[in-house]
Amino acid sequence: MVTATCQTPPSEHLDGVGYLFGYPIAHSLSPLFHRTIYDALGLNWTQFPLPSTDMSHFLRLMQDPRCFGASVTMPHKIAILEHLDEMTPEGRAVGACNTLFFRQSGSKRLLIGTNTDIIGVHEAFYKNMPDPDQVFHHRPGMVIGGGGAARSAVYALKKHMQCDAVYLVNRDKAEVDAVIAWCSEHGYGDGLLHVSTPAQAAALEGPGAIVACVPNFPPKTPEERQARAVMLAFLEKRHKGAMLEMCYHPTPWTEIAELAQARGWRVVLGTEAMIWQGLEQDKLWTGRELGELPVEKVKDVIAKQLSKVKL
């Protein structure tokens, strides 16, 4: 495999440096998001985009004493794990790391990994649903997709949103089996159910909260069309809950979001999850509490950026 490496950005003028490490990342709003926060707080800090697959180069950059941490995205969320000194319980539970920060232990500076995607998921629902008891509490949750994003969504639904059961809908049974096995091994697999046919969906209680973790493209293969039919069977249920559409590139308004809204569901855009997980990152990096961060300013900046995208 070809390793993609980028030049180390000049940072001599900065007091604090961070990175967004992934490939590709040209579409990411993360550097703009964090720069908005640091400017508002009067910090001479920057998060540099690092579009790279060169792990050794990234780890050398992290040794800079001015480095406050990093956002980690695909394809590095699992590969980074072996290079950490510690993981938070949430990071260990989902087996993927999207955030690096430092903690001092005596004379040693420890590199800690966590997963703030979990917080992004549940805060996206709670900050946008004034009536969670009516919408999703004590109802089944549902995750569309597989892999690490699905595990984060399951964890949020089970541990933070009072969803005792979670339906898994995906084109690939092997991916679903792997998600269920992982979650079970790490203590939050009870009540997970792979729903593979519309008939099976028709016989089940409707979900209250759905997290869609799949790219925005129409189904083409028989397996993709079957998964879409299962999703539609749930969307047609009498109870109309809320769907978080995690995909927001190249547009935050997706085909799945359109299908859900047309059937009476409330849709939360994936940028909401991005905002709340990013605020959690800056709490870790700056040591500030949420009330000290410029939440509304960040929302305005992201909304203006999104207004440039044709929905």
Residues annotated catalytic, as ranges: 77
Which helix (DSSP H) or strand (DSSP E) does residue 120 occupy?
Answer: helix 117-126
Give the position of tokens 């490496």.
5
Burial of 148 (0-12, 13-18, 19+ CB in 10 A): buried
Using the Cα atoms of residue 225, residue 227, residue 233 and residue 237 in order, give the sign of their dihedral. negative
d(CA 25, CA 34): 15
Please enumerate in sequence order all residues whose Cβ is within 8 A of that of 230, keeping only pairs 6 or more positions apart, or say none.
169, 195, 196, 197, 198, 200, 201
Answer yes or no: are the C-beta atoms of 271 and 254 closer than 8 Å: no
d(CA 127, CA 54): 37
d(CA 293, CA 4): 34
Answer yes or no: are the C-beta atoms of 227 and 170 closer than 8 Å: yes
d(CA 269, CA 309): 14
